[in-house]
Structure formats: structure tokens, C-alpha cells
Amino acid sequence: MKTVAFLCFSFLYLRYTLCDCPRDSLEITCEDDVYEDLWNNNINIAFETLRVDFLQEMQNGSLKAERYINFTMQDINYIVTVTKMLKEMSEKEIQPEDIRDFIKARYLSYEKYTAAMLKIFSFKAEPTIEPTEAMKNYLSYYKELMEDPLHFVVGLLPCNRLWVWLAKNLKTPPDNAYYNWKKDNMDGHPEKYKPLLNKHLDTYEEKKKAKEIFHKQMQNEHAFFCSS
């Protein structure tokens, strides 16, 4: 159990360095704060994710180590693949400049995190990990979003925002082997996306598309936890 706790701490500390009534998730409103609107329209999916057995068993300490390890391997596959996508996009001539700079910054952050993850698990080279069906669908949608840099940025946000919210809402006691998942994800800063999204999602069409993307990625996150 000590080994599991150590792996949890190492993995989740690095994961942190990256990343009420439900309303209709595709509702279009006139709010100026699109960043908050995206989240509020999908809070129902956040609550549904909080209730999945993987997180509930993590909360009460009954989660089997094998399930957590499988979850970790799928997340490594996720981060390796998304880092490659960010690298490809960071090498393009993207306009406007603030979106370009944001993507480059995300790439550097993801690259650093990926390298650290591979080192922790003693991977000397990029591992070959068979993705679950849920992960295949998740990464496939990311691939579609690469056609538009702003849409890709929107697609990155659900993971960042959801993990912080889940960590804050799990009632995991300090003596739980998985307590570090909660502790190390509570203080993430998804708000770094806020100025960029509120600036560029400035038309009805862009807001509508962003809501569709955010909703889909929240569903993909939910599916990932359900399949773990």
C-alpha cells in the first residue's frame, strides 16, 4: 500500500503542474464571461463524474491498485499524445499572436510534465500503451480540433477545470492512500484560460461552437473516469 501511495503522490503532484442546479449543457446565454458560462452549462456532467465508482472508491480508500495503475497508464497515453499535438501546432504560424503564444506555453508545460512522468515510471522511451475505447474517442476529437487553434484551446480546458473541481469536492480523508490526488489537484489554475477565451469567443457563432466543444470534452472526461 505504501508503494501505491508513493506512486499516487508522484503522479498527482506532476498532474497538478499542468492542468447548484444543472442547466442544459448547450444553452447559449448573453453572459460576457464565456469562460464561466462554459463551465456552468456543464456542471451536471461534473456532478455525474464525481459519482462514478472509480472516484467514489478512491474517496473511501477501497480502490484497487490495479485500477489506479491502469488509469495512470491511460493518462500517460493521453499526455504523450496531446503533447505531440501541441508541438505540431506550436510550430505553425498561428494568428493572432496571443493564441500562438498560449499554445506554445501549453506545449512547453506539457512537454516538461511528460518527460517527468516517463522518468517516474522508468520509461527510457515513449511507451506503447493500448488506449481504451474511451481514450481513443477522446484523442480522436482532439485531432479534429487541431484544425482551429482557438477550438483546440477550448478543448484543453475541460480537463484542467474538471480535475480541480473534482479534487475540491471529493471528501477524501488525509489518512487515505489516495489523499494526494485530492491535495495535489485542488490548487490548479484553469483561470489562465479565461482572458484568452473571453477575448476571442466574441461572436454568437464562436460561443456556440465553444459550448459544443466544451460539452463534448466534458463527456470525454466523464467517459475516461467511467472506464477506469
Q: What is the pLDDT of residues 92-144, one digit of tens each?
A: 999 999 999 999 999 999 999 999 989 989 999 999 999 999 999 999 999 99
Question: Domain span at residue 165?
Answer: 2-18+42-226
Q: For the residues 156-169, what does the mean pLDDT come to?
A: 98
**Residue 26: how many CB atoms within 10 A of its CB?**
12
pLDDT value, residue 181: 85
pLDDT value, residue 22: 40
Only one residue has cell 488509469, namely: 71
Quote the CA–CA distance of 76 and 121 in Å, as a whole number. 10
Q: Is residue 31 part of a domain?
A: no
pLDDT value, residue 18: 59
pLDDT value, residue 24: 41
Cα atoms found within 13 Å of the Cα of residue 4, Cβ hemisphere only: 17
Q: Is residue 163 part of a domain?
A: yes
Asked if residue 9 has pLDDT above 60, the reply is no
Q: Is residue 103 part of a domain?
A: yes
- What confidence category does residue 64 fall into, taking pLDDT thresholds of 50, 70 and 90? very high
Asked if residue 5 has pLDDT above 60, the reply is no
Q: Is residue 34 part of a domain?
A: no
Quote the CA–CA distance of 141 and 196 in Å, as a whole number. 22
- What confidence category does residue 70 fall into, taking pLDDT thresholds of 50, 70 and 90? very high
The answer to whether 189 touches 6, Cβ cutoff 8 Å, is no
| Residue 193's CATH number | 1.20.910.10
C-alpha distances out from residue 180 to 41, 114, 122, 149, 218, Å = 29, 19, 21, 33, 23
Q: For the residues 73-99, what does the mean pLDDT come to?
A: 96
Q: Is residue 141 part of a domain?
A: yes
Q: Is residue 27 part of a domain?
A: no
Q: Is residue 30 part of a domain?
A: no
Asked if residue 4 has pLDDT above 60, the reply is no
* Per-residue model confidence as pLDDT tens digits over 12-51: 555 555 543 344 444 544 457 999 999 999 999 999 999 9
Tell me the whole-structure pTM to 2 decimals: 0.87
* Per-residue model confidence as pLDDT tens digits over 203-225: 999 999 999 999 999 999 999 99
Q: For the residues 185-201, what does the mean pLDDT come to?
A: 95
Return the exposure string of 197-224: e unless at least 16 CB atoms fall within 10 Å of the residue's CB, then b: bbebbeeeebbebbbebbbbbbbbbbbb
**Residue 174: how many CB atoms within 10 A of its CB?**
8
Q: Is residue 35 part of a domain?
A: no
pLDDT value, residue 25: 42
The answer to whether 155 touches 141, Cβ cutoff 8 Å, is yes
Count up the domains in the chain and report the number. 1
